[in-house]
Chain A
Amino acid sequence: MSEMLLLRHRDIPEIANLDTYRQIGGFEAFQQAVTRMKPDEITEVVKASGLRGRGGAGFPTGMKWSFIDKKIYPHYVVANADESEPGTFKDREIMEGNPFQFLEGVAITAYAVGAQSAYIYLRGEFWQLARKLDQRIAEMHATRLLGDKLFGSPYSLRIHTHLGAGAYICGEETAMLESMEGKLGQPRLRPPFPPSYGLYGKPTIVNNVETLTNVPLIIARGAAWYRTFGTEKSPGVKIFSLSGCVNRPGNYELPLGTTFRELIFEHGAGIPEGRQIKAIMPAGASSSLIVANEQALDTSMDYESVPRVGAQLGSASVIVIDNSIGIDWLVNKTVHFFKHESCGKCTPCREGTYWMAHLTHRITTGKATVEDVDLLYEVASQMKGKCLCALGEFSIEAVLSGIERFREDFEARAKQVEYSE
């Protein structure tokens, strides 16, 4: 990539400085939007660009904006900065390194959907980051980029940060809204969806930090320009958070359509100590495990191609697993994560993650039998299709794909003793 679009602080180190950001054209898109474009026009541009949600769901962003209920006001925009998926650390770098492009994205989005208040929900552990963002927001107020009657137009906008308190489930958009309203962070029933019934029951657009950071450039340089990156159905660039058994873990901004091979072996400099790659988790802990064969490595990382090798691209938090890792050990980790983070609202996730955690613990400590591996598979299957939200549904992906594709790892320590009835 010759020029970064999102991680621009790697090219322009001072971009976190407001003056620097403005010198390179920052906030011109926002001004152009507010003074010379209608809100619906902006939505159309974003639709045309093909930008899809970067938080994991991949939902077309412009389409989501167009769903907002125009009969009920006020409208709200909430930036999802909860970033708690294991293996995901892209939004943090954006907000630390290129905060004003992110804030400009929030602002343009707010204008496009008719919101005069926008919120940034940050995970509680990002309290220092939130404080810095508050300072930057204050700078924007001081330079009349936020506040009343911006650029001489009737449009007013205020942005507020809001901290979570350590719950992964609050990254789920309706649980996030519940948390912002001061209630228990548990997902709501959907339908209705946030564009109809969101924060305080009003129409709300929730977007991921990375998604929003794309918006100013799309407005500044046009939808057609954006489509020159990526693939036809997955246009644009994506920050891939590479971690696990690689020599150079970190965030890599690459066009969608880059292959796993390029990411892992070129940018990530391959597997340490000459070990062999074994599996890939493309969507953090919420992934299915891809068997890292040649076909998989040559698969393009975009929303359409990854499913062909039995997984979802998700948030593109690519965790690499090599042959020193037992998949049972790995799945024990992911299952314990989900058990810890389950909100407890629905029966299958609350009881199922707890049960699976016991089973994986026994499997990895050699206290389980082969039947227990089958039982683990069945418990995970029992949860499938029954949970209230995606946490429960995704918690089983690693379990099911792990046992299907790497069964020998699970049976490696299985007790040979058969239980008598």
Chain B
Amino acid sequence: MSKLITLTIDGKQVSVPEGTLIVDAAKKIGIDIPVFCYHPKMEPVGMCRMCLVDVGRPVIDRTTGEFSQEEDGSIKIQFAPKLETACTTPVSEGMVVIGASEKVKLAREDILEFLLTSHPLDCPVCDKGGECPLQNLTMGFGPGESRYLYDEKMHLAKQVPLGELICLDRERCIQCARCVRFQDLIAGDPVIGFYQRGRALEIVTYSEPGFNSYWSGNTTDICPVGALTTVDFRFGARPWELNAAASLCSHCPVGCNLTLNTRREASSGGKMVIKRVMPRQNEWVNEIWICDKGRFGYHYTEARAERLTQPLLRKEGKLTPVNWEEALEVVANRFRQASTHQEEISQSPNENGLLILAGGRLANEDLFNLRTLAESVGGQTALYSHMAGGDLVAQVGLGEGSNFSDMGAGTTILVIACDLEEEAPIWWLRVKQAAERGATVIIANPRATKLDKSAHFKLRYPYGGEAATVMAMLNTFSAKRPNLPPAYGEQVMAANGETMQKLARSPELQAAAQAFANAENSVILYGSEGIGLPGSQALAQACANLLISTNHTGRTNNGVLAVWSRPNEQGAWDLGFQPRNNLKQTLRAAKALYVVAADPAGDDPALAETSDFLVVQDLFLTDTAKLADVVLPAQAFTEREGSYTSGERRVQRFYPAVPALPDCLPDFKIAGLIGQRLGLDIETRIPSKVFNQLAARVPDYATLSYARLAEVADQWPVVGREDLYYGGTTYQNRQGLGVQLSPSAQRGELTAMKWQEPPNLPESDDGLLAVPITRLYDRGQTLKYSALLARRLSPACVILHTTEAERRGVKNGDLVQVQFENASALASICLNEQVPVGVVLVPRSVGIPLTAPQWIKLQLAERVKA
């Protein structure tokens, strides 16, 4: 707890921690000191001079060291001869700040007059109008007239693309440097900068493609004028015409809080459409930021030409539109048959009745109803996922009250098998910022990733050695902990060869292990870099073991965090859904297969052979849906209510933003309607009722309710509305911060360590090891309809090192046939020096069917002329 300093601002007294800047101290007591270049999330620069105030300090008598006094006994205050910038001046004891004087008032008018001399009269056509700090501060503090001659205004380029996502208007820019500083210091991508000097100072981008950063959209939120706008929203609508609906991002497990701005408009045929995606403040989750995938990747919900709008039934080999009655009738009958069948063959474990394969994009309410349905007919559930460990997260995950913002010196964060900026961008940002506050970061990954810059320890293990690396770290304390099976570590390490053994014995790994064990707080994030389900199972278990053995469970800011690939995989695990090894056999064996929000055939054609009866419930006619007997159209998350459980086990609500597409129903309702036809008492209409049932049945969720999830609290910094000049146009959060669950370890339940063998990779004959990796911009269903991102999506490629390519006689850009065990695919060659020799990286969701590491062969298919 740092020392408190008391000062007076415009006659009001305030006490704030030492080091607080005057402008923040004033904000805390509701006094607005206008700023442009200052942003509460960044170091001040004192450039715009808008926040000039009169600062007086007590005079200290040099002989006595005491405060000098006036005749009447009050402390003598000496004001500086010049005004000082409130944003760069920290408070000091007894300081007197005056913002409400004539001198300061004139200074603010002067600065605004200066800024407006060359600022164009664009308000009628500028996107920022209505949520513009320059407009607001001019109204509040500006002079009534400008004395500058219109003909002498500087004219500059007005539609400069900084990449294809962001548009710059050079005339509007007031050179506040917020965007440049954000990109440099927060986003870690210094791809924009200043060029020239004086009045000609302008923003340029240095990268190819332009503004090459996953964070570029955030600069449009903090730009105090309409200089930086997104191409997505440019000339789209006026902010005051927009409705604001609170939602959650559906792309990754961070669970960023969003505000979806919508408008009913003639140009969309009278429909209500989403005009833009904005961040909503939640300092426990995403602070005030979102990544560009969340910001620009929502168009799939509105791809009306491609969205399913009617149930389809296969009649005479063709999928034909039918009404819900008919479709549900068929489904219910076949499920009933399958359940009877299950009873008959219940002795034989190999044949199943009904199998529900659910994806991680479903809300908790959907998953709960599906589970109820499955249980009632003796069926089974499975989670469509290549990652394991959700059950471990529920036991030894982050303690309740955990917040990355509170992690700093004294915390060690291990990130293993994860390219964090690609898999969960906001977590990359949060870990990076924790490192800047003193947290020790250990990165364990076979290749370099962006987080390396923040790392204190870098452990490069060979692909396949994920769990072994964690076990090696555990082994460094095995002398003190005799309950470890002695031979385990050696056996695991032998399987991965010399590289692994060298790493295990290296001083770097020993030091990293010590840093992990001795830290006050330790957190592990594990991803899915280069591993499939079996590898993930071993890794998750190893991570849990490491935390348990070093006593970092059951406490705030301690525990394990899985970097899932979809927003609600943790919720699915909490509700009893788990992935299956041998998915192909499982799918084939089911008598009736109900696939909800998953596309196994699209990811891997080998999974296309399915059961007798296939029902697919989705937004689009996916490859799996094309094989189905019945296709049921579901609503997108933007059209309905529900809740997601984030990777940090924070349960959050999302609200409907647009009316549902006609004849689409929410997933929980469809499952409920089927259940009703099977005689179940199951809620089909009100999501909060489903949630209450869920809370009654799932112990960890017992204290939750929609009301509780909607609770909010004051957050710092203030953003939006009348404070948008200060923190940006991020929306205030009035719809709910969500509630974080506690892991069972926090309730005192002990989790035993288990020992799981990682998968053994068979020996190869000079083949290449293909490993799956994640790219943020892949070619999945959720991104392919965002035309704006088309050029940034990862191509269907395989990435390898130059020497490997040379050895096999292939060049950058060549088309090759990739031969897997049971399949082959066409891909283009992409060279990258970061890829270890002998390895080929294959991005997921680009059309190449690889779910787990495999030895492959490459064959040149077509040489592409350079």
Find residues 316-354 in chain A having any chain B CB closer than 8 Å to their own CB: 339-348, 350-354
Interface window among A56-64, A109-117, A380-388: A380-388
Cα distance A83–B152 in the bound complex, in angstroms: 32
Which of chain B's residues have a CB closer than 8 A to the CB of A341? 197-198
**CB <8 Å contact, B175 and A348:** no
Which of chain B's residues has its CB closest to A392's CB? B49
Find residues 345-394 in chain A having any chain B CB closer than 8 Å to their own CB: 345-348, 350-355, 358, 375, 382, 385-388
Among A167, A352, A355, A388, point to the contact of B46 (Cβ < 8 A): A388
Which of chain B's residues have a CB closer than 8 A to the CB of A358? 149, 152
B108-129 to A contact mask, C-beta < 8 Å, 1/0: 0011011101100000000000
Which of chain A's residues have a CB closer than 8 A to the CB of B118? 351, 354
Find residues 114-155 in chain B having any chain A CB closer than 8 Å to their own CB: 114-115, 117-118, 147-149, 152, 154
Which of chain B's residues have a CB closer than 8 A to the CB of A169? 197
**CB <8 Å contact, B47 and A355:** no
Query: Known: A340-B198, A342-B198, A347-B114. Contact between A354 and B154, CB under 8 A?
Result: yes
Among B113, B194, B201, point to the contact of A382 (Cβ < 8 A): B113
- The reply on B50 being an interface residue by CB < 8 A is yes
Among A189, A343, A386, A387, point to the contact of B198 (Cβ < 8 A): A343
- The reply on B199 being an interface residue by CB < 8 A is yes
Cα distance A170–B152 in the bound complex, in angstroms: 28
Cα distance A185–B46 in the bound complex, in angstroms: 16
| Total residue contacts A-B, CB cutoff 8 A | 90
**A88 to B: closest C-beta gap in Å:** 21
Find residues 185-217 in chain B having any chain A CB closer than 8 Å to their own CB: 193-194, 196-201
**CB <8 Å contact, A167 and B197:** yes
B791-835 to A contact mask, C-beta < 8 Å, 1/0: 000000000000000000000000000000000000000000000
**CB <8 Å contact, B114 and A344:** no
Find residues 43-57 in chain B having any chain A CB closer than 8 Å to their own CB: 44-50, 52
Among A167, A354, A386, point to the contact of B110 (Cβ < 8 A): A386
Among B52, B81, B154, B200, point to the contact of A386 (Cβ < 8 A): B52
**CB <8 Å contact, B49 and A344:** no
Cα distance A184–B184 in the bound complex, in angstroms: 14
Cα distance A152–B778 in the bound complex, in angstroms: 66
- The reply on B746 being an interface residue by CB < 8 A is no
**B27 to A: closest C-beta gap in Å:** 20
**CB <8 Å contact, B197 and A344:** yes
Find residues 178-196 in chain A having any chain B CB closer than 8 Å to their own CB: 184-185, 189
Query: Known: A382-B110, A386-B52. Contact between A344 and B174, CB under 8 A?
Result: no
**CB <8 Å contact, B201 and A344:** yes
**B187 to A: closest C-beta gap in Å:** 18
Cα distance A346–B81 in the bound complex, in angstroms: 19
Which of chain B's residues have a CB closer than 8 A to the CB of A342? 197-199
Which of chain A's residues has its CB closest to B107's CB? A386
Which of chain A's residues have a CB closer than 8 A to the CB of B114? 347-348, 350-352, 355, 382
Among A189, A340, A350, point to the contact of B201 (Cβ < 8 A): A350
**CB <8 Å contact, A189 and B148:** no
**CB <8 Å contact, B49 and A350:** no
**CB <8 Å contact, B198 and A350:** yes
Which of chain A's residues have a CB closer than 8 A to the CB of B46? 189, 346, 388
Which of chain B's residues have a CB closer than 8 A to the CB of A375? 147
**CB <8 Å contact, A388 and B49:** yes
**CB <8 Å contact, B83 and A347:** no
Query: Known: A348-B110, A382-B113. Contact between A354 and B199, CB under 8 A?
Result: yes
**CB <8 Å contact, B47 and A346:** yes
**CB <8 Å contact, B83 and A339:** no
Find residues 146-193 in chain B having any chain A CB closer than 8 Å to their own CB: 147-149, 152, 154, 174-175, 193
**CB <8 Å contact, B115 and A347:** yes
**A395 to B: closest C-beta gap in Å:** 11
B351-380 to A contact mask, C-beta < 8 Å, 1/0: 000000000000000000000000000000
**CB <8 Å contact, A386 and B197:** no
Which of chain B's residues have a CB closer than 8 A to the CB of A382? 110, 113-114
**B137 to A: closest C-beta gap in Å:** 12
**CB <8 Å contact, A350 and B82:** no
Which of chain A's residues have a CB closer than 8 A to the CB of B83? 385-386
**CB <8 Å contact, A347 and B198:** no
Give the one of B111, B117, B147, B199 with max A CB within 10 A.
B199
Which of chain A's residues has its CB closest to B175's CB? A344
Which of chain A's residues have a CB closer than 8 A to the CB of B117? 351, 354-355
Which of chain A's residues have a CB closer than 8 A to the CB of B111? 347-348, 386
**B66 to A: closest C-beta gap in Å:** 24
Which of chain B's residues have a CB closer than 8 A to the CB of A185? 197
Which of chain B's residues have a CB closer than 8 A to the CB of A345? 47, 175
**A317 to B: closest C-beta gap in Å:** 22
**CB <8 Å contact, B154 and A388:** no
**CB <8 Å contact, A351 and B115:** yes
Cα distance A386–B50 in the bound complex, in angstroms: 9
Cα distance A47–B809 in the bound complex, in angstroms: 72
**CB <8 Å contact, A347 and B49:** yes
- The reply on B88 being an interface residue by CB < 8 A is yes
Cα distance A382–B47 in the bound complex, in angstroms: 16
**CB <8 Å contact, B199 and A351:** yes
**A283 to B: closest C-beta gap in Å:** 20
**CB <8 Å contact, A343 and B197:** yes
**CB <8 Å contact, B88 and A189:** yes
**CB <8 Å contact, B152 and A348:** no
**CB <8 Å contact, A354 and B49:** no
**B134 to A: closest C-beta gap in Å:** 12
Which of chain A's residues has its CB closest to B46's CB? A189
**CB <8 Å contact, A346 and B199:** no
Query: Known: A358-B152, A385-B83, A386-B49. Contact between A344 and B110, CB under 8 A?
Result: no
Which of chain A's residues has its CB closest to B180's CB? A184
Query: Known: A342-B199, A388-B47. Contact between A347 and B174, CB under 8 A?
Result: yes
Which of chain A's residues have a CB closer than 8 A to the CB of B50? 347
**A402 to B: closest C-beta gap in Å:** 20
B482-500 to A contact mask, C-beta < 8 Å, 1/0: 0000000000000000000
**B98 to A: closest C-beta gap in Å:** 15
A298-315 to B contact mask, C-beta < 8 Å, 1/0: 000000000000000000
Which of chain B's residues have a CB closer than 8 A to the CB of A346? 46-49
Which of chain B's residues has its CB closest to A340's CB? B198
**A394 to B: closest C-beta gap in Å:** 14
Which of chain A's residues has its CB closest to B45's CB? A189
Which of chain A's residues have a CB closer than 8 A to the CB of B44? 189
**A16 to B: closest C-beta gap in Å:** 35
B87-110 to A contact mask, C-beta < 8 Å, 1/0: 010000000000000000001001
Give the one of B83, B193, B197 with max A CB within 10 A.
B197
Which of chain B's residues have a CB closer than 8 A to the CB of A351? 114-115, 117-118, 199
Cα distance A363–B149 in the bound complex, in angstroms: 14
Which of chain A's residues have a CB closer than 8 A to the CB of B88? 189
Find residues 698-743 in chain B having any chain A CB closer than 8 Å to their own CB: none
**A127 to B: closest C-beta gap in Å:** 20
**A338 to B: closest C-beta gap in Å:** 9
Cα distance A156–B205 in the bound complex, in angstroms: 43
Which of chain A's residues has its CB closest to B177's CB? A345
Cα distance A343–B50 in the bound complex, in angstroms: 18
Cα distance A388–B82 in the bound complex, in angstroms: 11
Knowing that A348-B114, A353-B198, A375-B147 touch, tell me 12 more A-B residue pairs with CB under 8 angstroms.
Answer: A185-B197, A339-B199, A344-B194, A344-B200, A344-B201, A347-B111, A350-B114, A355-B117, A386-B82, A386-B107, A386-B110, A388-B47
27 examples of A-B residue contacts, CB within 8 angstroms: A184-B194, A184-B197, A189-B45, A189-B88, A339-B198, A344-B175, A344-B197, A344-B198, A346-B46, A346-B47, A346-B48, A347-B48, A347-B111, A348-B49, A350-B199, A350-B201, A351-B199, A353-B199, A354-B118, A354-B154, A355-B117, A358-B149, A375-B147, A386-B49, A386-B52, A386-B111, A388-B46
Ordered nearest first, which 3 A-B pairs have the shortest CB separation?
Answer: A344-B201, A351-B114, A342-B198
Q: Which residues of A contact B (CB under 8 A)?
A: 167, 169, 184-185, 189, 339-348, 350-355, 358, 375, 382, 385-388
